[in-house]
Amino acid sequence: MIIAFAIILVLPLVMTAISFFVISSNMSKADGPNTVHFENIQDLFEPNNEKVGKVYDEIYETIRTDPGKLESTDYLNSLSSKLEPSGSFMIVRRNDSIYYTDSEIAASKIRKDLPSYQGVTQNSDDSNGGWYIEDSQYVIRQLDFTFSNGDKGSVFILSHYISAVSGGFVIRMLFAMLVILAVTAALLIHWINSGVLRPVHDLDVAMAKIKDGDFDYMLPTDQKGEIGDLYRSYEDMRLRLKESADEKMEQEKANSELIRNISHDLKTPITSVKGYVEGLMDGVANTPEKQKKYLQTIYNKANDMDRLINELTLYSKIDNDRIPYNFRKINITDYFGDCVEEIGMDMESRGISLNYTNMVSPDTLIIADPEQLKRVVNNIISNSVKYMDKPKQRIDIRILDEQDSVRIEIEDNGKGIAARDLPNIFDRFYRTDASRASATGGSGIGLSIVKKIVEDHGGYIWATSREGEGTCMHMVFRKYHEKEADDNSVDASAKEEKTGSSL
């Protein structure tokens, strides 16, 4: 807005001032400190306009034929009446005093600036004896004569600058003003169009794209000023909306996948339960042994559904970062000794060989939540058991020492994982074989839960596998050092004591 007002106000004024300066430069030659000879401005003024020119010629003729008439007040009054319509007036000087004037006030102000007696009188056709008095802005034509008693006389016809400007000059100045205004308007329209209207139109198009859900339409961010700030704000908004839309799409896709998996995974055991219950109701299981088998199958399927529901509940907590943790110091040797003993009984009942190797010192500690760490181990082993396909099934658990860390490896000799699937196995709802996973009751979220828990413990996890040979899960946790913890405690106490003293 400041630029617009500056263009509207300043530019025309500056250009007009330049125009007048160029015109006034034609009046640079001066014959005295206050007057400029008329021949230097004769292109700008029109002293020989019709009315003034006639009076001038009449006075010239009177001086040539009968100069005594200029001593008659009546005659001078008649001349003045002829000059009045043109805005001019007359002064008759006798020696150094005013003999006659029809404008006493103007005559008294300009008297000292009147040109001296020249003694040369010319007609209007070849006269160049006019004067322009800058101080009073009068154009003066002078006719000299001699009174009857020999006194020097001069007749001055005075036209004010305003009334003396020629018609051609006015027309040229008006044309110049029109050109100035046209150029100003063109510049202003171009600036508003390129600096305001076009960017606003582009922004309107961009907002329409946003309205239609197209978050890929970009605006150039090389604009300056407020428009540039607006463009950058739009880009920030667009990127945030695009990110939000992408997240929403991913979430919807994940939820859709979750619902599909839940429906499929629940449908399989429910169908089995319904079939076995119908068998019991129809009397198909007509012996105690069959009835026990049917009931055991129903019980197992119910456990599968309960396990799936528990996984989904935990997944919901993971998704909202609301897993309850109870961190404490754990002796890694004692913890995994008990864990292997508990898991070993189940593996033995399934005919799976469980091998345990501990390569860390007996006093090695880590900070962990025992319950959640047990969930990690159970999920990995449960996942391994599902995909066992060898006659001799085996699971190896190894605890390895890596200086400041402890690495836990859980390896099986199952089907293995294809190289193309290996980078994605920790993603939520990802299944290397959807049909096989569904048949074994896999929900596709077990390993994503494992990864989340391990990372929340400050550790990290990855997998190595060979298809047809087996898979190994690697987890690394940082060791807990009593000395380091005591030093940290001492530093904290000292800092607290120092703070208390200063207070």
Domain end residue (candidates: 165, 199, 219): 165
Q: Specify if 227 maps to a domain.
A: no
Q: Are residues 244 and 260 in the same domain?
A: yes
Domain end residue (candidates: 146, 165, 184): 165
DSSP-H helix ranges across 320-369? 332-350
* CATH code where residue 471 lies: 3.30.565.10
Q: Specify if 213 maps to a domain.
A: no
Q: What was the pLDDT predicted at 106?
A: 81
| Total residues found in the chain within this entry | 503
Number of domain units in the chain = 3
Q: Does the pLDDT of residue 435 top 50, yes or no?
A: no
User: What are the tens digits of pLDDT across the range 19-50?
Assistant: 666 654 544 333 333 444 444 444 444 444 56
Q: Does the pLDDT of residue 3 top 80, yes or no?
A: no
Which value, in Å, is the radius of gyration of the alpha carbons in the chain? 55
pLDDT level of residue 75 (50, 70, 90 thresholds): very high
Which residues, 6+ apart, have CB-to-CB distance to 142 below 8 Å?
Answer: 115, 118, 129, 130, 131, 154, 155, 156
Q: What was the pLDDT predicted at 110?
A: 82
Q: Are residues 346 and 382 in the same domain?
A: yes
Residue 486 CB: number of other CB atoms within 10 A? 10
Q: What was the pLDDT predicted at 192?
A: 78
Q: Are residues 287 and 373 in the same domain?
A: no
What is the rounded (10 degree) CA torsion for 230, 235, 241, 247? -160
Find the range with the poorest average confidence among 61-70, 140-149, 169-178, 195-204.
Answer: 169-178
The CA distance from 217 to 353, in Å, is 60
CA distances from 169 to 19, 43, 248, 359, 418 (A): 12, 8, 74, 109, 95
User: What are the tens digits of pLDDT across the range 176-191?
Assistant: 777 777 777 787 778 7
Q: Does the pLDDT of residue 436 top 50, yes or no?
A: no
The backbone torsions φ and ψ at residue 436, rounded to the nearest 5 degrees and listed phi first, read -70, -40
Distance, CA of 462 to chain centre: 41
DSSP 446-482: HHHHHHHHHHHTT-EEEEEEETTTEEEEEEEEEEE-H
Q: Specify if 25 maps to a domain.
A: no
Q: Specify if 175 maps to a domain.
A: no
Most confident of 40-54, 112-126, 211-225: 211-225
Q: What was the pLDDT predicted at 245?
A: 86
Give the residue-averaged pLDDT of 200-215. 84
**Assign residue 356 a region: left if phi > 0, alpha if psi is -120 to 50, beta otherwise?**
beta
The CA distance from 435 to 469, in Å, is 21
Find the range with the poorest average confidence among 150-154, 307-311, 363-367.
Answer: 307-311
- Give me the sign of the Cα torsion angle 278, 281, 287, 289: positive
197: DSSP letter: I
Q: What was the pLDDT predicted at 163?
A: 44
Which residues, 6+ apart, have CB-to-CB distance to 413 below 8 Å?
Answer: 388, 390, 392, 393, 394, 469, 470
Q: Specify if 355 maps to a domain.
A: yes
The pTM of the full predicted model, rounded to 2 decimals, is: 0.47
Q: Does the pLDDT of residue 85 top 70, yes or no?
A: yes
Q: What was the pLDDT predicted at 44?
A: 40
pLDDT greater at residue 401 or residue 319: 401
Q: Are residues 83 and 120 in the same domain?
A: yes
Domain end residue (candidates: 109, 143, 165): 165
Q: What was the pLDDT predicted at 370?
A: 93
Q: Which residues of 171-187 are buried (b: 16+ CB within 10 A; e: fewer)?
A: eeeeebeeebeeebeee
Q: Does the pLDDT of residue 421 top 90, yes or no?
A: no
Q: Are residues 355 and 263 in the same domain?
A: no
pLDDT greater at residue 432 or residue 51: 51
Q: Specify if 47 maps to a domain.
A: yes
The backbone torsions φ and ψ at residue 74, rounded to the nearest 5 degrees and listed phi first, read -60, -45
pLDDT level of residue 464 (50, 70, 90 thresholds): very high
Q: What was the pLDDT predicted at 137?
A: 65
Q: What was the pLDDT predicted at 93?
A: 92
Q: What was the pLDDT predicted at 309?
A: 80
* CATH code where residue 254 lies: 1.10.287.130
CA distances from 373 to 37, 187, 306, 324, 480 (A): 111, 74, 20, 12, 16
Give the residue-averaged pLDDT of 120-126. 60
pLDDT level of residue 336 (50, 70, 90 thresholds): very high
Q: What was the pLDDT predicted at 29?
A: 36
On whether the CB atoms of residues 428 and 448 are closer than 8 A, the answer is yes
User: What are the tens digits of pLDDT across the range 404-415?
Assistant: 999 999 999 989
On whether the CB atoms of residues 119 and 129 are closer than 8 A, the answer is no
Q: Are residues 339 and 359 in the same domain?
A: yes
Q: What was the pLDDT predicted at 125?
A: 55
Q: Are residues 469 and 341 in the same domain?
A: yes
Which residues, 6+ apart, have CB-to-CB distance to 254 below 8 Å?
Answer: 428, 429
Give the residue-averaged pLDDT of 186-210. 81
- Sole residue written with tokens 């943790």: 325
Q: Are residues 493 and 477 in the same domain?
A: yes
**Assign residue 88 a region: left if phi > 0, alpha if psi is -120 to 50, beta otherwise?**
beta
Q: Are residues 485 and 340 in the same domain?
A: yes
Which residues, 6+ apart, have CB-to-CB distance to 425 below 8 Å?
Answer: 417, 432, 447, 463
- Measured at the CA of 46, the angle between CA 42 and CA 49, to 5 degrees, comes to 145
Q: Are residues 262 and 155 in the same domain?
A: no
Q: Are residues 278 and 332 in the same domain?
A: no
Q: Does the pLDDT of residue 215 top 60, yes or no?
A: yes
User: What are the tens digits of pLDDT across the range 262-281?
Assistant: 777 777 788 888 888 888 88
The fraction of the chain above a pLDDT of 90, given in percent, is 21
Q: What was the pLDDT predicted at 78?
A: 92
Residue 107 CB: number of other CB atoms within 10 A? 20
Q: Are residues 311 and 330 in the same domain?
A: no
Give the residue-averaged pLDDT of 131-147. 74
Q: What is the residue range of 476's domain? A: 326-503
Mean pLDDT estimate for the chain: 78
User: What are the tens digits of pLDDT across the range 277-313?
Assistant: 888 888 888 888 888 888 888 888 888 788 778 777 7
Q: What was the pLDDT predicted at 45?
A: 44
Q: Specify if 214 maps to a domain.
A: no
Helix/strand/coil percent split, the chain, to 5: 60, 20, 25
Q: Specify if 180 maps to a domain.
A: no
The CA distance from 240 to 363, in Å, is 50
